[in-house]
Structure 1
Amino acid sequence: MSWSQAVEKTVTGLGYELVDVERSAGGLLRVYIDRVPGRAYPTGEHEFVTVEDCEAVTRQLQYALEVAGADYARLEVSSPGLDRPLKRVEDYVRFAGNLVQITLKLPFQGRKKFQGTLVAPAEGAAEGSGWHLVFNDGKVDQVLDFAFEEVREARLVPVLDFKGRRGKGAPATQSPAGETDGGQQQ
């Protein structure tokens, strides 16, 4: 069994999705994992990968890579991040409706990079074809039709919401000095 097969078998065997694997100079082996929606994990109920998830996968991978005779100096297991890459058709299906950035292999109307909302193909479309990206060119919304094979790279666009810092309906409180904190939690 090769080191890459050992990584994939171990990660998927633990119930996680293998997003990507990178090997770099200096012997670093970096493994990106994600949780599968709707699946229960022994590390608890969370939407995103936790440090405990990474620790559990790291422990198992160390054994599997030793058995496979993999040559690496350092192993790093992490989440794919907020700008998660979309590598497989299944990723596109899972993240349809989200804001994504795609880079085409060949330019379309003079550009390769587009950012917009990913729309799944209509039912009955051939696998990998019929995808749409709804984007705004600065004037009006437009739709880019593309096939999976035409994309060089696709990533989720991070959407940060800092409104969650204040509890919903949290009243402003006063400090002993009489200063108001605006309802932000300390």
Structure 2
Amino acid sequence: MAKERVTDIVERIALPIAASENVELVDIEYKKEGADWYLRVFIDKQGGVDIDDCSRVSEQLSDQLDIVDPIPNAYFLEVSSPGAERPLKKPADFSRVIGEYVHVSLYEPLEGQKAFEGVLRNYDESGALLEVRVKTRTKQVLVPLEKIAHARLAVDL
């Protein structure tokens, strides 16, 4: 089964479980590492998730995956927090973190760079407006949406 297909099926199963547990489904990964396959489900909520949240979602999801059986090979199921460097994928993810420090990787260079880190000042159909530090000054960079390959929260050191 194709990798995208597995994550789509798992998303359909996990969304109502996450909603029933009052957590947000942040991301799903299905990937092979060495000889083993991993299905990673990342959840979050205001104030962060704890081990009990992860355990409840994991148990329910495991039960449903056993019934639907969308994955033909053996795998490890991991349910956890996305961590401090949470990925930003949906428009709502970006809107929620306006004013926070982010890392944005690009498909192609913009102003000679393929990555920027800075404070997200705005996000709309024109792109992500970042305030980045360049030595002793700051400048604003508008990153068009179609150039964004990956984005995540970042730790500002």
Shorter-chain TM band? 0.7 to 0.9
- Offset, 1:7: 2.5
* d(CA) in 2 for partners of 1:24, 1:154: 19
Cα separation, partners in 2 of 1:148 and 1:14, compared to 1, 3 Å: farther
* d(CA) in 2 for partners of 1:146, 1:19: 23
**C-alpha contact (below 8 Å) 1:28/1:73 kept by paired residues:** yes
Q: 1:34 aligns with which of 44, 50, 56?
A: 44
1:35-184 alignment, distance < 5 Å: 35=45, 37=46, 47-71=47-71, 72-121=74-123, 127-159=124-156
1:12 is aligned to 2:33: no
Cα separation, partners in 2 of 1:12 and 1:129, compared to 1, 3 Å: farther
State the TM-score, normalizing by the size of structure 2. Answer: 0.82
* d(CA) in 1 for partners of 2:11, 2:152: 23
Secondary structure in 2 aligned to 1:27?
Answer: strand
- Offset, 1:64: 1.3
* d(CA) in 1 for partners of 2:91, 2:10: 24
Q: Write the deviation string for residues 13-35 of structure 1: whole angstroms up to 9, x where unpaired.
A: 43221111111222321111111
Secondary structure in 1 aligned to 2:64?
Answer: helix
* d(CA) in 2 for partners of 1:99, 1:156: 6
Q: Write the deviation string for residues 125-159 of structure 1: whole angstroms up to 9, x where unpaired.
A: xx432431001111321100123332111111125
Q: 1:21 aligns with which of 10, 22, 28?
A: 28
**C-alpha contact (below 8 Å) 2:101/2:154 kept by paired residues:** yes
**Higher share in strand:** 2
* d(CA) in 2 for partners of 1:2, 1:85: 20
**C-alpha contact (below 8 Å) 1:89/1:128 kept by paired residues:** no
Secondary structure in 1 aligned to 2:94?
Answer: helix
- CA-based RMSD of the aligned residues comes to 2.0
* d(CA) in 1 for partners of 2:148, 2:12: 26
Q: Write the deviation string for residues 20-78 of structure 1: whole angstroms up to 9, x where unpaired.
A: 1111222321111111x3xxxxxxxxx11111110111111011111211334321000
**C-alpha contact (below 8 Å) 2:101/2:120 kept by paired residues:** yes
Greater radius of gyration (CA): 1
Q: RCO greater where, 1 or 2, for CA within 8 Å and sep 6 or more?
A: 2
